[in-house]
Amino acid sequence: MTGEAEAGAFRQVFGDPPAGVWAAPGRINLIGEHTDYNDGFALPMALPHTTRVAARRRADGRLRLHSTRGDGRVTDLAVADLASGTGMDWARYPAGVVWALREAGHHVGGADLHFDSDVPAGAGLSSSAALECAVALAYDELYGLGLPGPELARIAQRAENAFAGVPCGIMDQMASVCCTEGAALHLDSRTLARRQVPFDPEGRGLALLVVDTRVTHDLGDGAYAALRAGCEQAAALLGLTALRDLAAHELASALAELPPELVPLVRHVVTEDERVAEAVGHLEAGRVGALGPVLTAGHASLRDDYRVSCPEADLVVDTALAAGALGARMTGGGFGGSVIVLVPAAAADPVAAAVHAAFAAAGHRQPGVLPAAPAPGARRIA
């Protein structure tokens, strides 16, 4: 990935060469799902798949956007008029970042931006965070802001929450900006404190597969917001700032105080934070295979308590486990998207074949299967 193709396309669309090319990755989350907006913990890693942006400043306050994934048109916006992404297509993510930078008091103006991406869209792999973070990083350099990574992630999250209208947490943006090659990112969503936890399945004779169920999800459709509101309501009823503040040993007595519909939500969040700690313990002790049962337990909790899985994701998990996987779980927000599967390297092909066969037998669209290793976070590539 040299940025040459993006620079060439930029020149064709906008006439001149770009000032640079930046890339930001999609992510999977190993464990710690629906914990970020509860101030809890997560363990994402960056994928090798990235969104790239070739960019150059403009002095006239126009923001011009073009994507090889779009319909060929250039979207042309006045930076000073940016207020809401309602009614915009994919352009709401990059436009939202420029809006969020200005909202945060940074003196940024226009730019020409050309995008290309190989992050599968709608697969729960954070293609929108990759898009936002690529723009945040490009603008940071184009306008000499010098913002630290977590601040860029906050700006990107603000763009998604307040401009694009998706009430997501901070995990995806932190993963896209702050992950490093060869490691998963142990993230404290309250403080944004983080630690790189070495993760090398291949070195242990294992493989990590990402299975795209092809069921597309939309976090803006209300179900995610409803879950988030349920967690916030439970925390308020318990007199806590966030569910992160409920310790595992207090769980049983806390659950007894809550209305029945909030019980499974709280149980998921508290046990999920525990699973993150457990997973980090295993990885730091070099017990990569021991991660498997933690993943599978996380899936059961998302399926039965949080209720964000779907039949296709459950089928991947059950089939993979039956075919020799060490563990599997849906990753990301849910309602479709992707499943991660930890397998002994020798079992990777048979497990993938079993999943394909199970999908064919059930009449589902064929899933996408890609092997994944922890890749670097957002960076300049040209």
Q: Which residues bind ligand GLA (CB under 6 A)?
A: 33-34, 36-37, 168-169, 171-172, 219, 332-333
Annotated active-site residue 172? The verdict is yes
In the complex, the smallest distance separating the C-beta of residue 220 from ligand GLA, rounded to whole angstroms, is: 11
Cβ proximity to ligand GLA: between 229 and 345 the closer is 229
In the complex, the smallest distance separating the C-beta of residue 299 from ligand GLA, rounded to whole angstroms, is: 13
In the complex, the smallest distance separating the C-beta of residue 344 from ligand GLA, rounded to whole angstroms, is: 27
In the complex, the smallest distance separating the C-beta of residue 129 from ligand GLA, rounded to whole angstroms, is: 7
In the complex, the smallest distance separating the C-beta of residue 42 from ligand GLA, rounded to whole angstroms, is: 7
User: 120, 131, 126: which is closest to 53 by C-alpha?
Assistant: 131
Cα–Cα distances (Å) from 244 to 38, 189, 268, 295, in that order, read 6, 10, 11, 20
In the complex, the smallest distance separating the C-beta of residue 331 from ligand GLA, rounded to whole angstroms, is: 8
Cβ proximity to ligand GLA: between 116 and 272 the closer is 272
Cα–Cα distances (Å) from 309 to 42, 314, 334, in that order, read 18, 7, 6
Strands 379-380 and 194-198 turn out to be unpaired
Cβ proximity to ligand GLA: between 91 and 130 the closer is 130
Cβ proximity to ligand GLA: between 218 and 284 the closer is 218
Cβ proximity to ligand GLA: between 296 and 338 the closer is 338
Out of 172, 212, 273, 314, pick the active-site residue. 172
Q: Which runs of consecutive H residues, i.e. helices, occur in 301-347?
A: 311-322
Cβ proximity to ligand GLA: between 117 and 319 the closer is 117
Strand ranges for the chain from DSSP E? 20-29, 41-42, 44-58, 62-67, 75-78, 110-117, 183-188, 194-198, 206-212, 327-331, 338-344, 368-371, 379-380
| Structure tokens that stand for 90 in this block | 């994919």
Residue 232: burial class (beta carbons within 10 Å; 0-12, 13-18, 19+): middle
Spatial contact of 41 and 61, defined as CB atoms under 8 Å apart: no
First to last CA, the chain: 9
Question: How much of the chain is helix, strand and coil, in % rounded to 5?
Answer: 45, 20, 30
For CA atoms 294, 375, 49, 155, the dihedral sign is positive
Strands 338-344 and 75-78 turn out to be unpaired
Q: Enumerate the active-site residues.
A: 172
